[in-house]
Structure 1
Amino acid sequence: MFFSEYFQVDSDLIKTYGAVDISLVCDIPLFIDPMLIFNSNKPEYQSLHQEIIRYFHFLYMKSKAGLSTKEIDAWFNFSEVPNNWLGYSMVGNKGLALGHKFAKFLYDNIEFALSTNGISRSQHIEKAMLLYEGSGKDKISDLTVNLIKRFLCEYTEEFAKEYISPDLCCIIPVDKSYFNYETESFVSKEYTLPFVYNEKGQVEYVLLTPFDILREDEPSINRDDFYKSHERIRASIENDSLRAYVNNYIMQAVRRYEENQKKNRQAIRERSIQKIEKEAFQEIVKEYPELYDYYIKLQEENTDEIKIQCMQELNNQLERLLMAPKNLISLFISNEYTFDKNLPAREEAKRRLAFFKHIIEDCDGYKNLYVKGEQIAKENDLQRLFRFVWYGTNFKVDAEVNNGRGQADFIVSMGQHNQNIIEFKLASNSRLSHVFTQVEIYEAANCANGSLIAIFYFTESEYRIAQQVVINAGYESMINESIFLIDCRNDNKASASIA
């Protein structure tokens, strides 16, 4: 289920090598941050940054002449590289490619991405994402993976030749390994890499990624942080005239708000002032795009803080998504879960869910739902952990399946007429009571023969809320039959000696 297990190497050896022991069941939501490549003291990383920028310069020169749709797709559009097992996929490693829409976005904004206005130390490809609405961490990470694919292949090949059995590796041609500037085309190259068989029975190579270029949150240069940092940006402006103009523009917006509040005899609220300042900054940056470069300069100078933040994110995510699953699997095996291949999907799903509840509540599994004392607050994290509870199953377990009426958390099946839905909810979810209508819709859309609901609570008050929701819906008799209330509290489980 993990790289170390499948390829028979010690996980500590992978860590010592500098890589992440990835899951081979589902993606790990970690992403490459190009700023970590730029800010590194490692010569190989500095060379990678130069190569990335070189390719963007090539794109810029091509874009100046104007490109056809086919040419944009050839140079600006990149396929997903699922082989590093990083991303959002809950089952397997296949996500979405960057696509033509993103390629067109890059094409339209390539000049903006490379312009520094003589302010920042270097150019950064992720600058383009400051114009991209919504989260772009997966997109900038996928783009970076495509541009450093040769490095990742060589990095993995070196480890494989040294530590992995030749029987678990093979010589594999890697598509678009690097870019040839003479032929102006991507070149494929063969590498000796570890491999797995994908769902189609085809050989698929696996790539390791160094942990020191990964993070869980948005990249260091991102749109949301840019707007939140407007005070720091304004203070860093070296041009006195520009700084005065920007500050005055924002002050005028605040003054109008204050005067209007006084006129209407209403209170002046600090939160409203902060919102007005942010909105005024959003307007003024359209007139003075060099403000983007002052932000990038701040991030370039923020090296130590960025590294510390990224390492904290990485450690927390690995604890949550690697150590916790390994611990749960160990508990799962040691508690001797019995396999019965003849059970229908509903009964097998029910038994796995009941066993998951038992592991969490009675076998200290709840400890794996906390990182440094803080609870795992996302349903997505619990879903990923449950994915590992299907260790050794013959059933097909699909996550976040959408058959037209929304995404069911899990569909457990063995053929079209033997399937069951499992839906996860946190008791703290404000729409908890909607879950019963939700699963009915999923059952109809997927032709499933029933559903199970798991509600996770982390406090006594959350338990009371969950219990009342079930009672109000008229399903109290279904508790521990098709509705499982799972106690994840860490303040009510005394040791056996004390109890």
Structure 2
Amino acid sequence: MINIKLTESYNIKKNQEDLEFVDIDLQQDLELFIDPYIFTKLNGDFAKSCNNAIIKFFNGVINLIRKNDEINAKRMLNGLKEPSETHLGLSEHSIYGNGVRGKKAAKLYKMLSKSRAAKTGNLKDLSDCELMIDGIGKDSISDITTNVIREYLIDFTQNQCKIYNIPMTLFSNNIWDDNIKKWIKKDYKLPSIGGKKIILVPKSIVTDKLILSYDNFYNNEVLEHYKNIEINASTSLVRVLKKGERVVYKKDLKKKYPKSKLIVYNLINENPKYLDLYKERKKIFNNMNVDDIIFKAHDKNKVLRNKKGNLAPL
């Protein structure tokens, strides 16, 4: 019988609810993502360290782009590899995530360097890319985050391995050293399956969708803004209900103001308060249902396996 979950492989008699880490699927990526915005909502040294590392790295890239220092900006981005060792993200069959290394790093540089949001200073955090940069979504943001905080995730993994007596082997890892502003190779002991290293991820930092969501911002902030404009101007989009209430239907707004990251950027650029207020509302973050989210991700993989037949073990 092929073990699907990590706990099954290492005979850990605990349910996901009783674990600090995501009990990963060893055959196929779980469609879960590390959201950098979550770190701003969590307490503790781990979250603080991760958040600081992400801020420093992202600000470093953006500052180089603003200085037109393409060589050093690309050098920072080229160190980002597909973090297959977490077994999280998007993939069709196996651990082949859609990371940002190589050609994708060059593409990421191109998208950021051409972005008015980066050049004007509206792009302040990595999580803002989801709102304003075309081609950068939850998978790429999660991959970037994983790379930057890899050393902290390794420390977490080693602690969990000690708790559950999971054997570890020495592996080389790509680590961002902010002191020297370079990617370096460092050896760390990590668990493995079939000779491939595994990095465990705290379940408290994963989600199925990012807290700061392009779709959500458009459907609420953007459309609400333009609805008020239409009502104040008494345009043809305004409908008067029987009781005299004046309304504008979302379907009409979407036709006149089609969804795009450019329209989100334009609103934020003209009215920065919208992003501030949006983030303020999103501060009320509750990750209590993370176990359900993980369960659903496993369930989704089961459905996929049933459709396509069992996948070969990694």
Match for residue 5 of structure 2? 2
Tell me how far apart the structure 2 counterparts of residues 284 and 91 of structure 1 sit (CA, whole Å): 34
Pair 1:127–1:165, CA change in 2 (3 A):
closer
Identify which of 107, 110, 115 aligns with 2:121: 115
- What root-mean-square deviation, in Å, do the aligned CA atoms of Structure 1 and Structure 2 show? 3.6
Q: Is the 8 A contact 2:177 2:183 kept in 1?
A: yes
Pair 1:96–1:319, CA change in 2 (3 A):
closer
* Alignment of structure 1 residues 299-448 onto 2, 5 Å: 299-304=279-284, 306-307=285-286, 310-312=287-289, 314-322=290-298, 382-385=303-306, 390=310
- Structure 1 stretches lacking a partner, 5+ long: 118-122, 198-202, 235-245, 260-267, 325-377, 399-499
Deviations 1:331-363 (A, max 9, x none): xxxxxxxxxxxxxxxxxxxxxxxxxxxxxxxxx
Match for residue 286 of structure 1? 266
Deviations 1:444-495 (A, max 9, x none): xxxxxxxxxxxxxxxxxxxxxxxxxxxxxxxxxxxxxxxxxxxxxxxxxxxx
Relative to its length, the structure with more strand (as a share) is: 1
Tell me how far apart the structure 1 counterparts of residues 8 and 302 of structure 2 sit (CA, whole Å): 22
Q: Is the 8 A contact 2:32 2:294 kept in 1?
A: no
Q: Is the 8 A contact 2:190 2:197 kept in 1?
A: yes
Q: Is the 8 A contact 2:171 2:187 kept in 1?
A: yes
Q: Is the 8 A contact 1:221 1:299 kept in 2?
A: yes
* Alignment of structure 1 residues 29-178 onto 2, 5 Å: 29-68=31-70, 70-77=71-78, 78-98=80-100, 99=104, 100-109=106-115, 112=118, 115=121, 123-133=124-134, 136-166=137-167, 169-175=168-174, 177-178=175-176
Pair 1:79–1:274, CA change in 2 (3 A):
same
Q: Between 294-303 and 219-228, report the one with greater CA deviation.
A: 294-303
TM-score by length of 1: 0.52
Match for residue 220 of structure 2? 229
Deviations 1:232-258 (A, max 9, x none): 975xxxxxxxxxxx7774446760445
Pair 1:164–1:278, CA change in 2 (3 A):
farther
Shift of 1:91: 2.8
* Letter matched to residue 205 of structure 1: K
Q: Secondary structure at the match of 1:255?
A: coil
How many residues matched?
299
Q: Is the 8 A contact 1:228 1:278 kept in 2?
A: no
Pair 1:107–1:149, CA change in 2 (3 A):
farther
Deviations 1:396-417 (A, max 9, x none): 699xxxxxxxxxxxxxxxxxxx
Match for residue 25 of structure 1? 27
Tell me how far apart the structure 2 counterparts of residues 228 and 150 of structure 1 sit (CA, whole Å): 37
Q: Is the 8 A contact 1:179 1:186 kept in 2?
A: yes
Q: Secondary structure at the match of 1:220?
A: coil
Tell me how far apart the structure 2 counterparts of residues 277 and 186 of structure 1 sit (CA, whole Å): 46
Q: Is the 8 A contact 2:33 2:208 kept in 1?
A: yes
* Letter matched to residue 56 of structure 1: F
Tell me how far apart the structure 2 counterparts of residues 115 and 191 of structure 1 sit (CA, whole Å): 37
Shift of 1:54: 1.1
Shift of 1:165: 4.2
Tell me how far apart the structure 2 counterparts of residues 289 and 269 of structure 1 sit (CA, whole Å): 24
Q: Is the 8 A contact 1:33 1:213 kept in 2?
A: yes
Pair 1:254–1:212, CA change in 2 (3 A):
farther
Q: Is the 8 A contact 1:113 1:126 kept in 2?
A: no
Q: Is the 8 A contact 1:59 1:110 kept in 2?
A: no
Residue 200 (structure 2) pairs with residue 208 (structure 1): yes
Shift of 1:181: 3.0
Tell me how far apart the structure 1 counterparts of residues 45 and 29 of structure 2 sit (CA, whole Å): 29
Identity %: 20
Shift of 1:103: 3.0
Shift of 1:17: 4.5
Identify which of 188, 193, 198 aligns with 2:190: 193
Q: Is the 8 A contact 2:158 2:189 kept in 1?
A: yes
Tell me how far apart the structure 1 counterparts of residues 259 and 83 of structure 2 sit (CA, whole Å): 40
Q: Which has the higher contact order (CA 8 A, sep 6+)?
A: 2
Tell me how far apart the structure 2 counterparts of residues 48 and 210 of structure 1 sit (CA, whole Å): 12
Pair 1:53–1:171, CA change in 2 (3 A):
same
Tell me how far apart the structure 2 counterparts of residues 63 and 231 of structure 1 sit (CA, whole Å): 28
Q: Is the 8 A contact 1:215 1:311 kept in 2?
A: no
- Structure 2 stretches lacking a partner, 5+ long: 240-246
* Letter matched to residue 212 of structure 1: S
Tell me how far apart the structure 2 counterparts of residues 160 and 56 of structure 1 sit (CA, whole Å): 30
